[in-house]
Homo-oligomer: A and B are copies of this chain.
Amino acid sequence: MAWESYAVILAGGSGTRLWPLSRQSRPKQMLRLLGERTMFQLTVDRLLPLFRPKRILVVTGHEHAEELRRQAPEIPADNFLVEPVGRNTAPAIGLAALHLRRRSPQAIMAVLPADHYIRDEARFRAVLRAALQVAERGFLVTLGIRPTYPATGFGYIERGEPLGRFGGFMAYRVLAFREKPDPATAERFVASGRHAWNSGMFIWRVDRILEEIAQALPDLAAGLRELEAALGTPGEAAALRRLWPQMPNISIDYGVMEKAQEAAVILAEFGWNDIGSWAALLDILAAGDQGNVVLGTEHLGLDTAGSLIFGNGRLVATLGIQDLVIVDTEDVLLICHRDRAQDVRLLVEQLKREGRHEYL
Binding site for B on A (CB under 8 A): 20, 300, 302-303, 314-321, 324, 326, 328, 330-337, 339-340, 343-344, 346-347, 350-351, 359
Contacts and interface: CB of A to CB of B under 8 A. Distances in A.
A331 B317 CA distance: 11
Contact of A316 (B300, B321, B330, B333): B333
A334 B317 CA distance: 5
A340 B303 contact: yes
A324 B304 CA distance: 13
Contact of A346 (B315, B319, B328): B319
12 contacts: A20-B315, A302-B343, A314-B330, A314-B331, A317-B335, A319-B335, A319-B336, A319-B346, A320-B336, A320-B340, A321-B336, A324-B335
Contacts of A324: 321, 335
A260 to B, nearest CB: 39
A359 B20 CA distance: 26
A325 B37 CA distance: 34
A314 B334 CA distance: 10
B333 A317 contact: yes
B333 A20 contact: no
A99 to B, nearest CB: 41
Contacts of A340: 303, 319-320
B331 A315 contact: yes
Given A318-B336, A319-B336, 14 more contacts: A302-B343, A302-B346, A303-B340, A316-B332, A316-B333, A317-B334, A317-B336, A319-B334, A320-B336, A320-B337, A320-B340, A326-B333, A326-B335, A328-B333
Nearest to A316: B333
A114 B337 CA distance: 38
A286 to B, nearest CB: 22
Nearest to A339: B320
A332 B314 contact: yes
A152 B271 CA distance: 52
Contacts of A347: 300, 302, 317, 319
